[in-house]
Amino acid sequence: MVIAVNTRLLIKNKLEGIGWFSLETLKRITTLHPEHDFIFIFDRPYSKEFIFSSNIKPVILFPPTRHPLLWYIWFELRLPRLLRKLKADLFFSPDGFIPLNSKIKTITTIHDINFAHRPKDLPVFTRWYYNYYFLRIAKKADRIITVSQYSKNDIANTYSVSTEKIDVVYNGSNNIYSPVKETEKTKIKKQLTSGNEYFLFVGALNPRKNINGLLKAFDLFKKETKLEHKLVIVGEKMFRNKKVSKALSSMKYSSDVIFSGRLSPVQLKSIMASAQALTFVPFFEGFGIPLLEAMYCEIPLLASNVTSLPEVAGDAAIYANPFSTESIANGMVKIALNENLRKELIEKGKKQREQFSWDKTAKRVWKSLEQCFLEDKRQIQ
């Protein structure tokens, strides 16, 4: 079988959630199935580290897809022609996008449809493109992979597609995430927060991640407890950061907030494992990989009580209403003042994390690919 794959989000040193999903699944699938040929389609010069095995043929298809207009050119004009030329048996897209005018059997991964519920979080052209095309993509795709039961139900209900063609495939965690020794924690805290305990947020700084709500809640936590805790925010700026700047400027304890920018997994591992807790309270999330990484680093979780997050964190988290500053602050207080609670959450996290691994993810993705291909063979017969 010849499988063409959209690998445009495999960009060296710039992997976000979907990029990590692409890397971890494709690395395993291609090496475990040497009997099949894979064509990786990049939209720019690629790093050789993404060519995981000898059964991969890389192809560059310009232009780089940095804007909705370029998405249209790439997916609707250039990609269909390339797929016809390649004569692939199957097209797999880990990032949701597929060409609508291609006849090749197609399976796509729609991680979530946050843009359908929170369109104003995105620039005008981006939100229009997502909401116009993903409805059609969901109906066009032969099979859909998504990363939580919540997202499966949301896609099926919002786009009126059958749940029978949607497969739930959970994300995993990079093996690098693990606990660190107390001496390492002391070292990290000395370097990062002058030796103080800290809460941690990890994720792209876009509006649905609720950074401004977290900042306000942290300020309230500081006013109520008078503790020396800091708040460390790890992530890269994205769209519409004015609310974050406004929330920060109105804080009494803004000097206790540390923005680190993007960090490599090696850097993040030590910082995460040294935190007193992960505070991850977005308005909408299809999965929430930082929750899983924190479980492997063996730190407590404060998570939103909405969308997919209770499904992922189970009973290993304190939950807060992301729309309530007081609710988030109360969660911080509980974790900061109760050592037994922190230990209990860590132990529950050790059990909860057993459900998730990239090995399991890759096996389930491959099962979906096989099912899609076998359905095609049955239709031909």
Q: Are 131 and 107 in contact (CB under 8 A)?
A: no
Q: What gap in Å lies between CA 338 and CA 325, rounded to an integer?
A: 20
pLDDT for res 378: 55
Are 162 and 264 contained in the same domain?
no
Are 148 and 232 contained in the same domain?
no
Peptide bond into 179 cis (omega under 30): no
Q: Which domain range does residue 206 map to?
A: 182-355
Q: E strands within the chain?
A: 2-6, 37-42, 56-60, 90-93, 106-109, 143-146, 166-168, 198-202, 230-234, 257-261, 277-280, 301-304, 317-320
Closest CA to 112 of 100, 132, 130: 130
pLDDT for res 300: 98
Are 349 and 372 contained in the same domain?
no
* Residue 329 tokens, joined: 């602050």
Q: What gap in Å lies between CA 173 and CA 381, rounded to an integer?
A: 40
Q: What gap in Å lies between CA 148 and CA 314, rounded to an integer?
A: 13
Residue type, 154: D
Q: Are 205 and 244 in contact (CB under 8 A)?
A: yes
Are 248 and 99 contained in the same domain?
no
Closest CA to 111 of 149, 161, 146: 146
Alpha helices in 262-308 (DSSP H): 265-273, 289-297
**CATH number of domain containing 149:** 3.40.50.2000
pLDDT for res 372: 87
Let me know if residue 75 belongs to a domain.
yes
pLDDT for res 358: 97
Percent of the chain with pLDDT over 90: 90
pLDDT for res 380: 46
pLDDT for res 381: 43
pLDDT for res 240: 54
Are 50 and 167 contained in the same domain?
yes
Let me know if residue 117 belongs to a domain.
yes
Let me know if residue 288 belongs to a domain.
yes
Q: What is the pLDDT of residues 309-350, one digit of tens each?
A: 999 999 999 999 999 999 999 999 999 999 999 999 999 999
What SS3 class is residue 36?
coil
Let me know if residue 155 belongs to a domain.
yes
Are 191 and 327 contained in the same domain?
yes
Q: What gap in Å lies between CA 59 and CA 41, rounded to an integer?
A: 5
Are 363 and 344 contained in the same domain?
no
> Cα–Cα–Cα angle for 354, 355, 358, nearest 5°?
95
Domain count of the chain? 2
The verdict on pTM exceeding 0.85 is: yes
Q: What is the pLDDT of residues 239-274, one digit of tens each?
A: 556 778 888 999 999 999 999 988 999 999 999 999
Average pLDDT rounded to a whole number, residues 42-58? 98
Are 201 and 331 contained in the same domain?
yes
Are 101 and 243 contained in the same domain?
no
Read off φ and ψ for residue 52, nearest 5 degrees: -75, -25
Q: What is the pLDDT of residues 220-247, one digit of tens each?
A: 999 999 999 999 999 987 655 677 888 8
Count the neighbouring beta carbons within 10 Å of the beta carbon of residue 189: 19
* Residue 363 tokens, joined: 């096996």
Res. 16 pLDDT band, cuts 50 70 90: confident
Let me know if residue 177 belongs to a domain.
no
Q: What's the mean pLDDT when you consider all of the chain?
A: 95
Q: Are 15 and 94 in contact (CB under 8 A)?
A: no
Average pLDDT rounded to a whole number, residues 1-22? 94
- State whether the Cα torsion 275-205-18-308 is positive or negative: positive
Closest CA to 131 of 164, 99, 111, 158: 158
Q: Are 234 and 260 in contact (CB under 8 A)?
A: yes
Let me know if residue 48 belongs to a domain.
yes
Are 87 and 191 contained in the same domain?
no
Are 154 and 193 contained in the same domain?
no
Are 130 and 192 contained in the same domain?
no
Let me know if residue 95 belongs to a domain.
yes
* Residue 63 tokens, joined: 């232009």
